[in-house]
């Protein structure tokens, strides 16, 4: 089983203006544009500015068949995203992350045998009270029994102050105002695309990875949480607009670990 990371457009919160906009909200939508933006974040060191950043943007836009007339807009947009605070308390930004503290496009793959809807629902239900966003996900869960491999790529894994975080970039268009990227609309977007289930899979993959890499691994100490970054809404002047954060508990991670093990290993 592979969970694709599509930046599919939602039903818009507001009707897009028919006049073309030369800004982040007018930037092309869809899978190709989303992949282009993901590539930019993957290959940027978050420190690039001015000419160096412009060269990367021009090259990447051309690779994806997007007119380089967007270069100035995209360069300014990326600068805004990497300087937006991810955390109110410490003011962490992507720009604060040196290359040696990050891992881009981390691949994962682990076996799954006879994973059923009931088994996954029974695993998640005890945690709905602490994570209300899971309620809609659990109610809508429906899939054929799965056997095979769970595989995918995590956009970004980074370390900060002894904790490990993962981040996923999303270029979904939710509107053109800061309020369109606050907690309530972000929750709606997360549920609409089943992103909570996706981030649980990603969190489990990182959990298992850290178990093999850190001899003293303790999820309470080392697990930092998950950021879903809705980059169209991120700007330093907009606070935490566009930033969705959750930290799955060690109990939830361990329950998922048991649920996803091969039958006979439990």
Q: How far is CA 148 from the centre of its chain?
A: 24
Question: How many angstroms separate the Cα of 138 from the Cα of each of 113, 126, 188?
Answer: 20, 11, 15
Q: Which residues contact 137 (CB under 8 A, 6 or more apart)?
A: 124, 191, 194, 196, 197
Overall number of domains in the chain: 2
**Residues that are catalytic:** 168
| DSSP-assigned letter for residue 131 | -
Note the pLDDT of residue 12.
Answer: 40
Report the percent of the chain where pLDDT is more than 90.
79
Tens-place pLDDT, residues 55-92: 999 999 999 999 999 999 999 999 999 999 998 878 89
Q: For position 107, which CATH number holds?
A: 3.90.320.10
Q: What is the pTM for the complete model shown? A: 0.90
Instruction: Identify whether residues 141 and 184 lie together within a single domain.
Output: yes
Note the pLDDT of residue 239.
Answer: 92
Instruction: Identify whether residues 56 and 140 lie together within a single domain.
Output: no
Contact 118, 144 (CB under 8 A): no
Contact 171, 29 (CB under 8 A): yes
Average pLDDT estimate for 142-147: 87
Note the pLDDT of residue 6.
Answer: 45
Contact 251, 195 (CB under 8 A): no
Instruction: Identify whether residues 105 and 235 lie together within a single domain.
Output: yes
Instruction: Identify whether residues 143 and 198 lie together within a single domain.
Output: yes
Extended beta strands in 141-222, E state: 146-160, 163-170
For residue 5, name the pLDDT band (cuts at 50, 70, 90): low
Note the pLDDT of residue 19.
Answer: 61
Note the pLDDT of residue 91.
Answer: 85
Note the pLDDT of residue 111.
Answer: 86
Q: Which helix (H) or strand (E) holds 85?
A: none
User: Is residue 139's pLDDT more than 60?
Assistant: yes
Residue 69 lies in a domain: yes
Instruction: Identify whether residues 159 and 38 lie together within a single domain.
Output: no
User: Is residue 179's pLDDT more than 90?
Assistant: yes
Instruction: Identify whether residues 118 and 249 lie together within a single domain.
Output: yes
Residue 92 lies in a domain: no
Instruction: Identify whether residues 37 and 149 lie together within a single domain.
Output: no
Look up residue 230 and give its two tokens.
């809705």
Beta bridge partners of 61: none
| Conformation bin of residue 138: beta by default, left when phi > 0, alpha when psi is -120 to 50 | alpha
For residue 2, name the pLDDT band (cuts at 50, 70, 90): very low
Note the pLDDT of residue 51.
Answer: 87
């Amino acid at each position: 089983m592979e969970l694709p990371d599509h930046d599919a457009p939602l039903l818009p919160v507001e009707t897009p203006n028919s006049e073309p906009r030369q800004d982040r909200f007018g930037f092309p939508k869809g899978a190709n544009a989303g992949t282009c933006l993901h590539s930019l974040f993957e290959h940027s060191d978050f420190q690039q500015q001015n000419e160096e950043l412009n060269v990367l943007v021009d090259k990447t836009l051309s690779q994806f068949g997007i007119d380089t007339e967007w270069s100035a807009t995209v360069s300014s947009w990326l600068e805004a995203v990497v300087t937006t605070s991810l955390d109110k308390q410490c003011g962490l930004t992507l720009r604060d992350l040196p290359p040696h503290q990050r891992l881009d496009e981390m691949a994962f793959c682990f076996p799954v045998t006879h994973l059923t809807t009931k088994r996954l629902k029974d695993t998640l239900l005890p945690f709905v009270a602490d994570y209300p966003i899971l309620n809609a996900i659990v109610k809508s869960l429906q899939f054929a029994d799965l056997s095979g491999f769970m595989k995918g790529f995590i956009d970004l894994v980074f370390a900060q102050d002894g904790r490990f975080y993962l981040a996923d970039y999303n270029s979904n268009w939710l509107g053109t105002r800061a309020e369109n990227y606050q907690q309530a609309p972000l929750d709606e977007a997360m549920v609409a695309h089943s992103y909570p289930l996706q981030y649980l899979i990603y969190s489990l993959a990182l959990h298992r990875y850290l178990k093999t890499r850190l001899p003293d691994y303790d999820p309470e100490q080392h697990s930092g949480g998950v950021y879903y970054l809705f980059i169209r809404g991120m700007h330093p002047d907009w606070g935490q607009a566009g930033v969705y954060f959750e930290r799955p508990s060690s109990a939830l991670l361990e329950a998922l670990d048991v649920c996803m093990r091969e039958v006979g290993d439990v």
